[in-house]
Amino acid sequence: MVGYIQLTDSQDRPPILFPRLHRLFLSSIDPLSLYIASNSMPTLKFINLDLPKEPPNSRENGEAMTAGLSRKTVALTDLRLASPVNGTIIERISQIETLKCLRITIPLTPPKDWGTLRLNLLTQLPALRALHIDQETDPDDDNEGSHVPQI
């Protein structure tokens, strides 16, 4: 943990740790991973956000990451969002004006407190050229229509 504190608090640290980082796959909510992702947002062109579903703060971290993306990115053109997905996150994504390609995976059974997805907000993305929406399905359930989320 000492190395992490030195990394984040050092006055000799450049403003962006990895200025040539353009692609990021984030699947962990450990503090160092979240810090690097947040610090790298201005240079990212692609991010794959797939945070663990189990920890209780996964939703909050996903909402914080997408809030940062909507404010800090200037080059992001490709976003893949697998987890978490909720209405707040969709709203924040709809503010990323540079997005050209968006892929969203809707969970099989989203938590009830996550609200409606509000996918209609994605029409506000002026540069969007490709939208791909997947939904997790239960391999044992033949009736996939029973899992259509509220939009």
- What pLDDT score was predicted for residue 2? 45
Q: Burial-class residue 57 by CB neighbours within 10 Å (0-12, 13-18, 19+).
A: exposed
Nearest to 70 by CA among 38, 93, 86: 93
Reported pTM: 0.82
Beta-ladder partners of 106? 135
Residue carrying structure tokens 């189990």: 54
- The distance between the two most distant Cα atoms of the chain, rounded to a whole number of Å, is 58
Spell out the domain ranges in the chain. 21-147
Beta-ladder partners of 5? none
Q: From CA 37, how far away is CA 66, in angstroms rounded? A: 11
Rounded-to-10 torsion of CA 108, 112, 114, 120: 70
Q: From CA 70, how far away is CA 73, in angstroms rounded? A: 6
Strand order in the sheet with 101-106: 23-26, 46-50, 78-83, 101-106, 130-135
Mean pLDDT in runs of 10 for the chain (151 residues)?
Answer: 54 83 94 92 96 80 92 95 89 95 85 74 95 84 57 53
